[in-house]
Amino acid sequence: MTDTNKITQELERYRDVKGFWARIVLIIAISLSLFHLYTSGFGILLAIKQRAFHIMLILPLAFLLFPFSSKKKGEKPTVLDIILTILGVAACLYVITNLEALALRAGAATTLDLIMGGILILLVLEGTRRSIGIALPIIAVIFLIYGFFGPYMPGPLAHRGFSITRIISQLYLTTEGIFGIPIGVSATFVFMFVLLGAFLERTGVSNYLLNLAFGCLGHFRGGPAKAAVVGSGLMGMISGSSIANTVTTGAITIPIMKKTGFKPDVAAGIEVAASTNGQFLPPIMGAAAFIMVEFTGIPYIDIIKAAFIPGILSYIAIFSIVHIEALKTGLKGMNKEELPPFWSTLVKGFYYIIPILMLLYFLIIKRATPLGSAFYAIVATISISIVVKIFSLFNKKDPTTPQKVAKKFSQETISALEWGAKNMVGIALACACAGIIIGVVNLTGLGLRMTSLIVTLANGNLLLTLIFAMIASIILGFGLPTTATYIVMATLTAPAVARLGVPLIAAHLFVFYYGIVADDTPPVSLAAYAAAGVAKSDPVKTGIMGFKFDLAAFLLPFFFVYSPTLLLIDTTLGQVIIAFITSVIGMYALAAAIQNYFLVKTNIIERLALLTIAILLIIPNVTLSLIGILCFALIYYMQRKKRAHI
């Protein structure tokens, strides 16, 4: 097992199963991946069957891999774990085998229906607690209590209340609860893109992309950090997990950053910010784009078009603050002898780009379904891996044998199938648990009440509404995966933002972005613990540094809400170019204000001026933008004069 996998296990609280149970886990994981490969390539099942099969194979992995307590892992599951596994399979099989009967008696659930439903609800809560922590299950339980005790709730939150029978029926026997949209997306698009990420990692594509980034940027000032930003962004958009991306790319980038002079907590913080923001980068956006399609009804191509410029701007912001950090500390780039040569690396490994190009071709040009596009990208990845290994047989400098080639290929494939499934456990159960929340919201009408409440509290003021939505997204996102945070916020707060005239896509991207930011916001900052494990740094300091490096992009959602031009909504090319330029200047100004450094150290007046410039450039007003740009130029001139006298 690699160091990366060991760190991932520690963070994800994996039980390192051995012997018989290791083989059982491997069989289940491979079966889960093959099931999704088959259905994505040859047609998915009826919606509720697809989702039930998905959960049926996810729950055993949750209970066999994740112990009841992270302090008592052991090397094999306990009797309780085995019982819970059997119950989980039974509860899902009950739906699959009795689907027609359940549909015929809709609204008249039998006692056995309710028992099985109650079991599955409890198992989803427990599986989620084990795999991602207690936060989301607690929120789900609060919503369940809310559904039952509606008449006793204060003011606008009050409703008539629902019986336990009605709540279980809603969550288990319909597609508006556990088997709702969140798990539906998990059982199709999300799984396939997580599996694609596993194949790209195991077949060497991720290392190739990192080598390209280092070859291109490593020799610049602070080059390793800049390469880490680019490489982590490219992998982060596919992985959909801040922690997984931090560990995977950070295992390479963090030691190199430390070697070139970055302090451990700074190197880890840069990796956290870069890995986290990858989930906002089109065309995949950590699979969130596909969830957004389901919630908004907006075509996929329109979502990634809208997110394109903000996604690029988020990395320009991180890039800017990293550049200023290198200026502040006087760091240089790496020697070219230490770096992979960019052009030869690009040419020698050009075939590694083919799966990604194929994915983009099917998604954007052919406009195929995301599910089919991911399937073809995986097939391409496997095919290229086979071809490369066959050609290695004819390599005179490094000869090998057919047996070794076959063994290496099978190991890579099995490892990708296994880790693709294992990496989905927390995501899938978070989606199932979020389905409980959404089921109660739909049953009680809480969504409309929350929208009205937020608008009333903000008194119709857009800025206050955005601030409320931002705070709620960050707080909720502290202990939840990004996908779960987005699902809940899309249900509760995005409608309130959209109700004030904000384009629907802008409202959803707004709450999604702040759900991402929560991943590197103290005090929780789960991704920081991953980076700290690699960097051997203090997790708290790493979390603070990660938040600092992400802070330059913190105002980005306000940029695109107040200036929908950045989302390519009702605009011209000229307007887009102007908005992009002013936004870039605003991002750099904010980065300089955060770092208290521009060309040289800033004084308090310059720092406040830079902060003001960043705010001026958010407002979609030509006069204010011109003032902001002129002030930026003035500060640049003053800083140059100051630097000349040092």
pLDDT at residue 126, rounded to an integer: 96
Provide the sign of the torsion angle of the four alpha carbons 260, 261, 264, 266, taken in this order: negative
pLDDT at residue 292, rounded to an integer: 86
pLDDT at residue 196, rounded to an integer: 87
Residue 354 CA to residue 360 CA, distance in Å, equals: 10
Single-letter amino acid, residue 2: T
Residue 183 CA to residue 296 CA, distance in Å, equals: 16
Residue 119 CA to residue 124 CA, distance in Å, equals: 9
DSSP 187-223: IIIIHHHHHHHHHHHHTTHHHHHHHHHHHHHTTSTTH
Under 8 Å between Cβ of 160 and 150: yes
How far is Cα of residue 118 from the mean position of the Cα atoms in its chain? Answer: 30
pLDDT at residue 4, rounded to an integer: 47
For 353, residues 6+ apart whose C-beta sits below 8 A from its C-beta are 208
Cis bond before residue 283 (omega within 30° of 0): yes
Under 8 Å between Cβ of 210 and 252: yes
How far is Cα of residue 392 from the mean position of the Cα atoms in its chain? Answer: 36
Q: Distance from first CA to last CA of the chain, Å, rounded? A: 52
pLDDT at residue 427, rounded to an integer: 82
Closest by CA position to 189, among listed 368, 366, 309, 343: 368
Closest by CA position to 564, among listed 504, 511, 614: 504
Closest by CA position to 547, among listed 194, 277, 213: 277
Residue 465 CA to residue 635 CA, distance in Å, equals: 33
Cis bond before residue 523 (omega within 30° of 0): yes
Single-letter amino acid, residue 555: L
pLDDT at residue 523, rounded to an integer: 63
Q: How many CB atoms lie within 10 A of CB 616?
A: 22
Q: How many CB atoms lie within 10 A of CB 325?
A: 23
Mean pLDDT per segment of 10 residues, for the chain of length 646 residues?
46 74 95 95 90 96 90 81 97 93 80 95 95 87 93 86 93 91 86 86 83 84 82 72 72 81 88 84 75 86 89 88 86 79 87 87 82 90 89 74 86 93 88 90 84 80 89 74 79 87 92 81 69 81 86 83 87 87 90 92 93 84 89 94 84
pLDDT at residue 198, rounded to an integer: 86
Provide the sign of the torsion angle of the four alpha carbons 237, 242, 244, 247, taken in this order: positive
pLDDT at residue 10, rounded to an integer: 45
Residue 251 CA to residue 247 CA, distance in Å, equals: 6
Q: Which residue has the tokens 């295992």?
A: 251
Residue 610 CA to residue 635 CA, distance in Å, equals: 8
Residue 576 CA to residue 423 CA, distance in Å, equals: 38
Residue 98 CA to residue 92 CA, distance in Å, equals: 10
Q: What is the 3-state secondary structure (H, E, C) of 221-251?
A: CCHHHHHHHHHHHHHHHHHCCHHHHHHHHHH
Tokens at residue 262, please?
A: 């970055």
